[in-house]
Amino acid sequence: MALYEHIFLARQDVSQQQVEELTTALTEILASGGGKVTKNEYWGLKGLSYRIRKNRKAHYSLLNIEAPASAVAEMERQMRINEDILRFMTVRVDELEEGPSAMMQKRDRDDRDGGGRPDRGGDRFGGGERRPRRF
């Protein structure tokens, strides 16, 4: 069977639980076609670079799939019909990545660092001591 990485974007006004239900429905479509989902990651609600169908944000999800091409084609057909899915992309890969994806590693790193920008110490121009403003 072929290996695929599949990412889809769901509308911003659906809940996280509804996105998980969508993922479950897609998993069942693949299972009925003889495939399986080996990894499922929900990346969260993120801003889009440009508006897609009047949405400024979207729920991102990643699926690692091991399935025949016919099962993937049926899943994509169902996704085109669903109005809650804004975009999707399926890429065939030679091997699936083990462990968390780059997006999840980034989130873990941000959580450890406390988020935000590192302290540069001082004013907004990159260091030094703070001086009172003079007018």
pLDDT tens profile 43-97:
989 999 999 999 999 999 999 999 999 999 999 999 999 999 999 999 999 888 7
First to last CA, the chain: 72
pLDDT number for residue 121:
54
Residue 1 banded pLDDT, cuts 50, 70, 90: confident
pLDDT number for residue 68:
94
pLDDT number for residue 131:
64
Instruction: Give the sheet arrangement for strand 55-67, strand by strand.
Output: 36-52, 55-67, 2-11, 85-93
CATH 2.30.30.90 is right for the domain spanning 2-95: no
Residue 98 banded pLDDT, cuts 50, 70, 90: confident
Give the Cα separation of 23 and 61 in Å (integer). Answer: 8
Question: Is residue 6 exposed (0-12), middle (13-18) or buried (19+ Cβ within 10 Å)?
Answer: buried
pLDDT at 40 over 80: yes
Whole-model pTM? 0.74
CA distance to 11, 81, 100, 113, per residue, from 126 (Å): 39, 51, 35, 20
Q: Is residue 85 classed as helix, strand or coil in its secondary structure? A: strand
Exposure class string for 61-90: b at 16+ Cβ within 10 A, else e? bbbbbbbeeebbebbbeebeeeebbbebeb
pLDDT number for residue 117:
55
The chain-wide mean pLDDT, for the chain, equals 84
